[in-house]
């Protein structure tokens, strides 16, 4: 896991060193182990390294057959290529010079051109500069686990691992588009290629784009999910066991220790069992709970499961004081915003992992989406589903925000529906928008803020090839989702309580906000970004009701902190009150 950035000019001139310096400073947290640059004519590449595999010779850029840094294709990448060993065996004649998992893709590019990413199994954001053809190629993994953002202006094309890397270089705009703000507040994330920052775009999941003379000239996409309706699967449990253990074994490839974030739920319990089996070593896990009795706290269950698997599990705790002091820092690291309250425990886990000496952790993201875990999926199977509204119809703030905030989700629904069951279509929408633009941004930013890499074994093409095509009846029932995964867990790890009700990962954010009272509510209401959307009376009402309806209150507070830092430029090293007081001046 690293940070990447680059610039290609439209007039053939060398990119600005000042611009590169600003990008490097903004992305420095992503590469605590070193940084390198490559300048070639009209193009510059920047790589900031978090060393995970090939600690000695794996510095980037990586080069193809022509080892001269000024002639052949050069690659910089962020992520992990899990089929690196297989690719190296298949390309035995290639003159590999390192053990880096990102080296095979540059040789694949030389032999297969812009379709090189179709051979990759992993999470990645890759940039390749080919001076012979005068082009820059960007590729993102099909699930969108890793991100790339870009800007096109009259004078240049620039890209970076985080939007704030581009903003720091003076690219894009912080004059937020009202429609995108409405979408963020109603959905908790934004959809599609456009970000909240006008002029800054996401490379879409599975997309490869080609840039020449600072202009995008072509693009194509590969999908994370197989096509077609559900099919009956013979020996489904055995096949599931095979693909899960294979994926976890692949995700454990590392030259540094790997840990686990353990919540006590089905997904993390499955990963605990699989990691123990695949590694044959004692697993180091971390779980997070809340001070006091409030909130959904599964740490007792996580510790119990760790004991059964003879894993070492550290319990950390988030208190109201932690919330008050850490929330501004968390908002500062989530440059592409999501108002999902799960950013809070994820940030705490990232900090704890770094303190424990863990650079890599396995995480359960994707289990619900691929195996059918959400209650909204069960509604898609109900005989009366035609009488129910599609998921995300109401929005967090209901009628308080009008307009076309649901247009992006509606477009994703139209694309997902043909040739699929209603359940599959709902899963496909989540995999296209919710996962990459909420859960995976949250995971990347909160962990990389501490120099920690999060890996997601469920978000694997081999796992998806089985899970997504399962019959609907093996995914959801009347009371439970993830039926086949639960059945597997009941056999593989009987002590895990596979048929227990899903608790979720919910910090008591509403209670923490309520404790702060009217003083906090008035600070939020007067924050310029919030005041541009809501009347003061609406904000005060939402904040006063935080103890009963936490998401709207957290959405307002997060947006107030986020806007204060990313739009107004306010330093977020203070606590919530200090940051919002500064914004109100």
77-102 pLDDT per residue, tens: 999 999 999 999 999 999 999 999 99
Contacts of 119 (CB under 8 A, 6+ apart): 83, 87, 108, 112
- With helix as H, strand as E and coil as C, how does 65-109 read? CCCCCCCCCEEEEEEEECCHHHHHHHCCCCCCCCCCCCHHHHHHH
Q: How far apart are CA 13 and CA 267, in angstroms?
A: 51
Q: What is the pLDDT of residues 22-75, one digit of tens each?
A: 999 999 999 888 889 999 999 999 999 877 765 666 788 999 988 777 889 999
pLDDT band for 291, please (50, 70, 90 cuts): confident
Q: Between residues 209 and 500, which one has the greater pLDDT?
A: 209
Q: What is the model's pTM?
A: 0.96
Backbone angles phi, psi at 185, to 5 degrees: -70, -35
CB 152 within 8 A of CB 325: no
Alpha-carbon dihedral sign for residues 392, 396, 398, 402: negative
Pull the structure tokens for residue 290: 């809340």
Chain centroid to CA 511: how far?
Answer: 27
Domains in the chain (CATH in brackets) are: 2-221 (3.60.20.10), 236-496 (3.40.50.620), 509-584 (no CATH)
DSSP three-state, residue 50: coil
pLDDT digits (tens, 9 = 90+) for 147-160: 999 999 999 999 99
| Residue 138, beta-bridge partner list | 127, 209
pLDDT of 72 = 92
CA dist., res. 441 & res. 265, Å (int)? 21
pLDDT for 402 equals 83
Q: What is the pLDDT of residue 55?
A: 63
**What is the spatial distance between Cα 384 and Cα 382, in angstroms, rounded to a whole number?**
5
Which of 117-121, 296-300, 549-553 shows the lowest mean pLDDT across its residues? 296-300
Residues in the chain: 585
Rg (CA), the chain: 23
Instruction: In the chain, count H helices and then E strands.
Output: 22, 17
Rounded CA-CA distance 15/10 in Å is 10
The most confident of the ranges 44-58, 217-231, 440-454 is 440-454
How do 62-63 and 74-81 pair as beta strands? antiparallel
% of the chain residues with pLDDT over 70: 97
Q: Which pLDDT tens digit goes with each residue over 416-446?
A: 999 999 999 999 999 999 999 999 999 999 9
For residue 504, the model assigns a pLDDT of 65
d(CA 329, CA 446): 10
CA 377, distance to chain mean position in Å, is 22
User: Which pLDDT score is estimated for 354?
Assistant: 95
What mean pLDDT do residues 100-118 have?
A: 96
Q: Tell me, what's the pLDDT at 232? A: 81
Decide if pLDDT at 479 tops 70: yes
What is the structure's pLDDT at 69? Answer: 75
């Amino acid at each position: 896991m690293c940070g990447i950035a680059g610039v290609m000019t439209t007039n053939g001139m060398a990119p600005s060193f000042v611009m590169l310096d600003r990008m490097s400073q903004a992305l420095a947290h992503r590469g605590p182990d070193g940084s390198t640059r490559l300048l070639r004519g009209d193009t510059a590449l920047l790589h900031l390294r978090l060393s995970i595999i090939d600690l000695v010779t794996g510095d980037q850029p990586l080069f193809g057959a022509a080892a001269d840094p000024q002639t052949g294709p050069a690659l910089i990448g962020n992520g992990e290529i899990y089929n690196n060993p297989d690719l190296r065996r298949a390309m035995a004649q290639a003159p590999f010079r390192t053990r880096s998992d990102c080296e095979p893709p540059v040789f694949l590019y030389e032999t297969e051109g812009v379709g090189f990413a179709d051979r990759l199994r992993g999470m990645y954001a890759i940039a390749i500069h080919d001076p012979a053809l005068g082009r820059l190629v960007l590729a993102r993994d099909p699930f969108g686990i890793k991100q790339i953002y870009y800007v096109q202006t009259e004078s240049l094309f620039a890209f970076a691992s985080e939007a704030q890397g581009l903003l720091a270089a003076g690219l894009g705009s912080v004059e937020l588009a009202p429609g995108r703000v409405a979408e963020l507040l109603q959905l908790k994330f934004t959809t599609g290629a456009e970000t909240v920052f006008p002029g800054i775009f996401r490379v879409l999941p599975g997309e490869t784009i080609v840039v020449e003379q600072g202009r995008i000239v072509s693009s194509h996409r590969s999908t994370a999910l197989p096509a077609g309706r559900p099919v009956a699967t013979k020996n489904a449990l055995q096949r599931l066991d095979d693909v899960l253990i294979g994926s976890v074994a692949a995700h454990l490839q590392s030259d540094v220790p790997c840990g686990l974030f353990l919540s006590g739920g089905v997904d993390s319990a499955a990963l605990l069992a699989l990691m123990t089996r695949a590694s044959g070593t004692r697993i180091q896990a971390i779980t997070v709970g809340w001070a006091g009795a409030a909130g959904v706290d599964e740490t007792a269950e996580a510790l119990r499961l760790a004991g059964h698997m003879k894993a070492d599990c550290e319990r950390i705790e988030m208190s109201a004081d932690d919330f008050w002091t850490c929330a501004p820092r968390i908002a500062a690291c989530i440059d592409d915003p999501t108002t999902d309250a799960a950013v809070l425990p994820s940030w705490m886990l990232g900090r704890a992992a770094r303190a424990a000496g863990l650079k890599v952790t396995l995480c359960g993201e994707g289990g619900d989406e691929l195996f059918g875990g959400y209650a909204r999926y069960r509604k898609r199977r109900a005989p009366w589903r035609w009488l129910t509204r599609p998921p995300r119809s109401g929005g967090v703030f209901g009628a308080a925000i009008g307009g076309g905030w649901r247009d992006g989700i509606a477009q994703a629904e139209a694309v997902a529906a043909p040739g699929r069951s209603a359940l599959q279509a709902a899963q496909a929408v989540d995999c296209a928008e919710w996962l990459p633009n909420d859960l995976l941004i949250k995971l990347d930013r909160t962990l990389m803020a501490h120099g920690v890499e999060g890996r997601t074994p469920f978000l694997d093409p081999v796992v998806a090839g089985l899970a997504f095509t399962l019959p609907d009846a093996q995914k959801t029932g009347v009371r439970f989702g993830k039926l086949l995964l639960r059945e597997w867990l009941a056999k593989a790890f009987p002590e895990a309580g596979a048929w227990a009700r899903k608790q979720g990962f919910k910090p008591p954010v509403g209670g923490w906000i309520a404790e702060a009272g009217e003083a906090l509510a008035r600070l939020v209401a007067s924050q310029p970004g919030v005041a541009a959307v809501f009347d003061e009376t609406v904000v005060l009402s939402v904040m006063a009701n935080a103890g009963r309806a936490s998401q709207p209150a957290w959405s307002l507070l997060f947006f107030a902190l986020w806007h204060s830092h990313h739009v107004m430029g306010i330093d977020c090293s203070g606590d919530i009150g200090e940051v919002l007081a500064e914004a109100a001046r």
